[in-house]
Amino acid sequence: MSAGLYGFMDIGRLARAHQEFHEKIMRAGFTSPVETCFAHLHRRSSRDRIVIHQFAEALVGGFLNLGERQGWPEGGDPRVGAAFTRCMVQEYFEKGEHSTKTRTILQNVLASFSNIGDFNKTSLRKEPENGHRPTTNRVRYDAAVTGWQKHAITRMVGNLGSKYEPRLPFFEILVNSARSSVEKETSQPFAITIHDNEKMLDARRSKLSALAMCPASVAHFTFYDSLLNTPEKFQETTKLKIGPNAKRFLEGLMYLQNVELKTQYVGNCWIKQPMRCLLVSLYIEIYTECKELTPKEAWAMTVHLYKDIQKQAGIPIIEELLEDAKIGGMKHTYASAAIEKRSQT
């Protein structure tokens, strides 16, 4: 998978890497779970672990931002990135001592990733059967949308109101960490639009999922359609009565779409996008649960918790994968140095 529209990489090399990754998934023959009941958390974690151990080498390199220059493979599948992300949050939730409010936030975040895609299907365009509706929490990962040819873009959808109501507006967040220009090393990865109801949201899903094999030059203008309602445009033009809670939430979305983060490394969009979906989910659940916080305060809390999840759960999993994959030589040296650096931040 490429780094985005501008394509600063060997497209053929990354396409071959993606094909090899896809064939390995088919050989593995695993289906990601879609249960939302927390009685199934341990089972889900076990299944995710089976998947991530199948792709240990790619996950170590992708998580640590290592590529072919350091001898690590590039390219992968966002379903594997999402399985790793969910497993990481799962382990953090199970092993840590958390306050009641933090446990609620983490449970809602896990619910966000209740459906990350089906590993038994050859087509990524299959509509998820369960888990993609934000019925029990504020936002969900939508596995039906995977991006365009050779580049992963992930999609989050959620209720603008505090409760799930198909006839009322929903928000969509497209997560894309690619460079927008050669000069800039940061980007605004969260593109947010408002859709009038669930029917329109689902029509949008169908349109975007159909572009999975299209080149960026074709798909980009549909993904980032300038005619769509931004939170600001929606607030100015809607005829609906916007209550104080919905108004506050719109302010939170406006803040999120202006956040600047470092761009992805070439070849790791397949894990970077799901990881940043975790950022989205944490932020929205924190902002929803902690009504006393401003968007800036909620974002600061989000970043702190996100880093702690990586430090306490993500890095140990990566260390385990590095050991199990029996990787040596300079690849191991680069990985060890990257782990040490990540542990100190």
Closest CA to 60 of 307, 308, 316: 316
What DSSP assignment string belongs to 181-209? SSS-SEE--EEEEEESSHHHHHHHHHHHH
Distance of CA 230 to the CA centre of its chain: 20
- Domain membership flag for residue 270: yes
| pLDDT the model gives residue 203 | 94
Mean pLDDT of 100-108: 96
Quick count: other Cβ atoms within 10 Å of Cβ 238? 16
Tell me what pLDDT residue 286 has. 97
- What kind and span of H or E run contains 156? strand 154-159
Residue 31 pLDDT greater than 60, yes or no: no
| Tens digit of each residue's pLDDT (9 = 90 or more) over 40-77 | 455 566 788 888 999 999 999 999 999 888 888 888 89
Q: Is residue 1 part of a domain?
A: no
Structure confidence at residue 204 as a pLDDT band (50, 70, 90): very high
Cα–Cα distance measured from residue 147 to residue 218, given in angstroms and rounded to the nearest whole number: 12
What would the two tokens of residue 342 be? 């990540």
* Domain-located, residue 48: yes
Residue type, 8: F
Confidence of residue 180 (pLDDT cuts 50, 70, 90): confident
Give the chain's domain count: 1
Confidence of residue 23 (pLDDT cuts 50, 70, 90): low
Question: Within the chain, how many helices (H) and strands (E) appear?
Answer: 13, 8
CB 210 within 8 A of CB 36: no
Domain membership flag for residue 6: no
Q: How high is the pLDDT of residue 215?
A: 96
129 has pLDDT over 50:
no
Per-residue model confidence (pLDDT) at position 133 = 79
> For residue 91, what pLDDT band results from cuts at 50, 70 and 90?
very high
Among candidate residues 85, 82, 24, 81, the one with its CA nearest the CA of residue 267: 81
Say yes or no to pLDDT of 177 above 90.
yes
Q: Where in the sequence is the domain holding 36, given as residue range(s)?
A: 11-344
Q: Phi and psi at residue 172, in whole multiples of 5°?
A: -125, 135
Instruction: Answer yes or no: is 121 within a domain.
Output: yes
Average predicted confidence (pLDDT) for the chain: 85
In a domain, residue 4? The reply is: no
Burial class (CB in 10 A: 0-12, 13-18, 19+), 24: middle
Confidence of residue 303 (pLDDT cuts 50, 70, 90): very high
Distance from C-alpha of 132 to C-alpha of 115, rounded to nearest angstrom: 6
- The verdict on residue 187 lying in a domain is yes
CA separation for the pair 79, 264 (Å, rounded): 17
Of 11-25, 49-63, 295-309, which gets the smallest average pLDDT?
11-25
Identify the pLDDT of residue 130: 56
pLDDT tens string 234-265: 999 999 988 899 999 999 999 999 999 999 87
Distances (CA, A) of 204 to 174, 201, 249: 12, 5, 22
Cα angle value 335/273/290 (rounded, 5°): 105
